[in-house]
Amino acid sequence: MTPLALTLILVSAAMHASWNLLAKRAKGGAAFVWLTACWAALLYAPLVIAYSLWQRPTLSGWQLLFLIGTIVLHTGYFVSLQRGYQHGDLSLVYPLARGSGPLLATLGAVILLGERPSWLALTGLLLIAGNVFLLTGGLNSTAGRWAVRYGLLTGLFIASYTLWDKVAVSALLIPPLLYDWASNVGRSILLAPLALRRRQEVQALWRSHRREVLGVAVLSPLSYLLILFVMTS
């Protein structure tokens, strides 16, 4: 791993922890996910328009399929994460998700993509994942069964979209900026019927947690864009 890639990953990790703290404060469920997706799509639209006018990208059938797939996977990720935050503390849900996700992603990369991580990398990953489960109580945690379940489900979504997106940006060469923006647009469309049914909840969330909404709308795409750029190298 190059020094630049390591730096981008560390910066992304700091941003990721920051927006998760904001998301935990809101505890808004799917309505919060919809609000942040809408604002992310709006805020990053000027960059996407400028990039599209400059590069004029075209998408093949396979690339469109992967765009649809990432929309579904990231929607599941954000909704399960928010559900976890509604049932448990950040100190439980976040480590469980971030500890189980990379472990499952590594297993998937070995089995599905034929990658061969070094023994040092595997040892480090297992130590981190093991410590996370010990610190949070893992499956025997008394802090809330549903919080643990949603934390692990979120980890499964993390592993799934990590492998999916790796193929999308490194093999199919979908531009990361366009890819992530399309994911936010798709998520806002996918959750729109729910948001319409819960419009009062959405309005209340915006009135009381607009800072959290805007913070997540900026930091979440930016943190993941850094990871996508690393995946392309």
pLDDT digits (tens, 9 = 90+) for 20-70: 999 999 888 899 999 999 999 999 999 999 999 999 999 999 999 999 999
User: Cα–Cα distances in Å, from 68 out to 41, 65, 74, 84, 141?
Assistant: 16, 5, 10, 24, 35
- Which residues form the domain of 92? 3-232
Mean pLDDT calculated for residue range 219-233 = 95
Q: pTM for the full model?
A: 0.89
Task: Name the domain count of the chain.
Answer: 1
Instruction: Say if residue 139's pLDDT is above 70.
Output: no
